[in-house]
Chain A
Amino acid sequence: MTVLALAVPVLAQKATIYDEPLSERRVAYTLNVTLDPEARTVRGTERIAWRNPDDVPVDSLQFHLYLNAFKNNESTFMRESGGMHRGFSAEEENRWGGVIIESMKVTTGDQPTLSTTYRTDDADLTDRIVYLHPDDDNLDDQTVAAVPLPRPVEPGETIFLDVEFESTLPRIVARTGWGEKSDGTRFFMVAQWFPKLGVYEVPGQRYVPEDAPRGQWNTHQFHENSEFYADFGTFDVTIDVPEEYVVGASGVRVSETTDGGMKRLVYRAEDVHDFAWTASPAFLEYTDTWRHVNLRLLLQPEHDGQAQRHFDAVKIALERFDEWVGEYPYTSLTLVDGLGGSNGMEYPTLITCGTAYLLPDWMRSLEIVTIHEFGHQYFYGLLASNEFEEAWLDEGMNSYVETRIMDTHYSPGSAISLPGLRLDDGPGQRTFYAKSTPSRGALFTRSWEYEVDADYGKASYMKPATVMRTLEHYLGWETMRRFLRTYYDRWRFRHPTTRDLQDVAEDVSGEDLDWFFDQFVYGTAVVDYAVEALEVEAVEGSERYKSEVRLERREDGIFPQTLRVRFEDGSTEERAWEGEAASETFTFDKPTPAVEAYLDPDNAVWLDVNRLNNRRALDASNVFARKQQFKVVVWAQQLFYLIGSLF
């Protein structure tokens, strides 16, 4: 593994628990920036180092300029979203943002001396910058830029660029920008804020064929639903902010100095693929530790009193991910309680959580969001799949583990826990999938290519959580755990694909899982098995009964089934059915009649979109119907008394 070797300042605290680099570190960023709260800008310089990982020269670089998604109404993000993202929309006043590259030059002066450093006489690249629109031909979108180089970067050679840029932060609509509290206090979530390299994928990496003559840039536009994709590296970031601002950032804080009303903070992050930070004078700061991890919580003052809930949730997540998936290698984690659309987002070693004023204990949204966003340190952070193209690999796998943690630690009622109404996270997500046109939206779909916008959420979060829980029940938890750990061990600090994940699952289980992935990951097969009939008749001339159970497969999805039949004498008998035929009849000839037929009695096939028809009983009681009837009677009586009091 070749690693970019750059000058590293002495760290007060190591960024990871290891001395050696953990990733390939194809990139390195050094940023010196200043936040101007009044102008809502972040202005400064950036030195970018990129090493050509290919065996052939590369003649251009590609950059993400994500902030340009908020430049005007014509960007692809704004066209797709209409300015509304997950219920949040920016207010009209000062809503626009963007990033301007004032200059981009090949570093000629004081760059680190490497034998393979790229050099050129034609150093100024500013005028060479062009915008690309690889996804939708939207000529007005400026979220992807390409820079043809004066000469190609040779294999193994490292190019250093010096960039001067100014980022204007938009009013927060999606993940990034500025917000203002009712007392006028400013909040800044500075994310996707600097010119950032795309990923150059070499032959054999992800879906670039092994025998391709050359690699290719993978740089997608900023879409309504998609998130991000970048290479691992290091970040040395110096941030100047007004003295009263409390700052949280990716990585570890190396130093902090104050001078002339301004505060200078220096951060370093290693083996990560992004760097985000936040600043606000309003933050309350709390700290805690979990093993080797320094936890820092920046909380809005009105949420004071909820710090422990955040720490409890994130510690549970750290514990479980460590046990089930793998080690958290970083030494820091910052939890941010942001404003509006900035919440519920993940960046390396920094997550935004989000709660509500006086959030009651029975409502576990705080825990769900905190655990989910922490989980992204794995599914996105360490296992850095391409979020544009395979969102389910980060959101879906993470939702699976999130629901498992929630349902393990907080059940019953891991999502909502009220007397008489206890809703668990996992079943909630299963239900959302099952009742939201399950035949539409495959997991393996590029995030901007869903025919119906809402299918992105279902196919990226709820359905994969359900698919993976079904796989867990099919393989068994121990195998599933080995699968998760192996996936982590094999692909951490790299860019796994769906195919890679399937390979790991097959290696660990020793089973060809094409039947599963083809149906439920690449395809949209729907599972619905039903007990169509249960019939019993006495066998003439004997004291035996012939019990007949007729099963049906009502949708196109095929999944092995277990049938459990209960007999009048209390005995039970189980039969396996591969579930391929449209229907199947099982006959039991016994001295006792069958009284109940139950498909999937252990509730293993969470993909089954109708569980109610899985069971048929001859001795069924109407206790539920009676109970509901009585509920309605009482509700109606209460309603009558209530409205009657006014008339």
Chain B
Amino acid sequence: MIKPSLTAGISGLRRRPGLVVLLYATNLVLALILSIPVAVAFAGTVGPTGFGEDLAAGFDIVLWADIIEEAGDALAVLFLHLLWMVPLYLIWKAAAGVGLIHALRGDQIRSFWQGVGRYTLRGLLLGVAFAVLAGIGVVVTLGVVLVIGAVWSGPVGGFWVNAVLAPTLLISLLAVLDLMHDYARTALVIGEQPVLKAMQTGMAWPFRHGQASPLYLIWFAPAAVLLLLPTVLDMNVAAATGSAVWGLFITQQILLLLRAAVTVGWFGSETAFYETIWLSELPLIAKEETENTPETDDAAPFSQELPGAEPNDWASA
């Protein structure tokens, strides 16, 4: 079931390139707004000095300390901007998440914005619930790490516990929660489930369907690589001239555009995976919950197609 889901994700990507552009552009615009104080501060501090090209060519702690001393206040604005920008972005991400699922589900062209309008509030609540869960999970994980650290102390134990085990546990925890959140969101949109029920579905999903995790990891790997590559490039390319700086930036942006594409493909794959299973399980649900079947515009076609549908037929239907 992984391969058809992957195919469906890539097919969704081809069908809806606008979604990729939308995700990428939103990120870029917010990031550009954030960067304005930095540009102004550095231009004002370093611009007139003539040290610009030297500093662009390599790190100089002496000059950097002077810059921070002079432009520190201006740079602090950057962090103040994060105070409103990060919450705004999270709201947008919650909206975009449900919008993407709505837009990528089934084989019909559905409006991203319709999905945003219809599911954002519930998507946001779901996001908050998972954020709380993540917070609890982090605290519990750190507690576990502390206990292990107390047993396995000393420099060797300290290294493995703090530098290896703790990050691995935290990343794994967050990845599992992210996976659960993905399917909870899908259940919320496709299954029209209420928030708590969707959360329940999402949390049970990786345990009920073993292939959910490999599918997640298949998308996780390129997503992580594409997210890290711009930093790797930045660390290894000493762009010291205007054209080199632009060249580096454009290369990084291409990578981040691809990262947005991975997001869309990822959502498409998981949506397809969910729908396939959902459809295959629907007769049972229908039998048991006929009275409760949601009567929505979007759900109807699947109900009608169900009798003759193969588990993975939807993509080509």
Contact = CB atoms under 8 A, between A and B. Distances in A.
Contacts of A623: 52-53, 56, 240-242, 245
B94 A647 contact: yes
Interface in A274-307: 300, 302
B34 A638 contact: no
Contacts of A641: 27, 223, 227, 256, 259, 263
Contact of B27 (A615, A630, A637): A637
Interface residues of B, number: 77
23 contacts: A182-B152, A182-B154, A182-B156, A357-B159, A420-B59, A420-B238, A434-B62, A611-B62, A612-B46, A612-B49, A620-B52, A623-B240, A623-B242, A625-B38, A626-B39, A627-B56, A627-B239, A629-B39, A630-B245, A635-B31, A638-B256, A640-B89, A641-B259
Contacts, number: 196
A646 B131 contact: yes
Contacts of A421: 59, 235
A612 B52 contact: no
Nearest to A642: B227
Contacts of B157: 182
A435 B65 contact: yes
B52 A624 contact: yes
A420 B47 contact: no
Given A427-B62, A646-B134, A637 B155 contact: no
Nearest to A435: B65
A428 interface: yes
A625 B65 contact: no
Interface string B119-130: 000000001001
A109 interface: no
A435 B69 contact: yes
Given A620-B47, A625-B39, A638-B256, 7 more contacts: A302-B156, A424-B61, A612-B66, A620-B49, A620-B50, A622-B52, A633-B32
Nearest to B46: A624
A181 interface: yes
B130 A647 contact: yes
Contacts of A624: 42, 46, 51-53, 55-56
A571 interface: no
Interface string A406-437: 00000010000011111110011011001100
A438 B42 CA distance: 25
Interface in B138-173: 152-159
B278 interface: no
Contacts of A626: 39, 242, 245-246
Interface residues of A, number: 59
Nearest to B228: A638
B234 A420 contact: yes
Given A418-B235, A621-B53, A623-B56, A643 B89 contact: yes
A634 interface: yes
Contact of A638 (B47, B93, B227, B246): B227
Interface in B54-101: 55-56, 58-63, 65-67, 69-70, 78, 86, 89-90, 93-94, 97
B30 A640 contact: yes
A620 B27 CA distance: 31
A114 B11 CA distance: 101
B174 interface: yes
Nearest to A183: B154
A418 B59 CA distance: 11
Nearest to B241: A623
A617 B238 CA distance: 23
Given A430-B62, A643-B89, A647-B94, A634 B69 contact: no
A539 interface: no
Contact of A610 (B36, B66, B249): B66
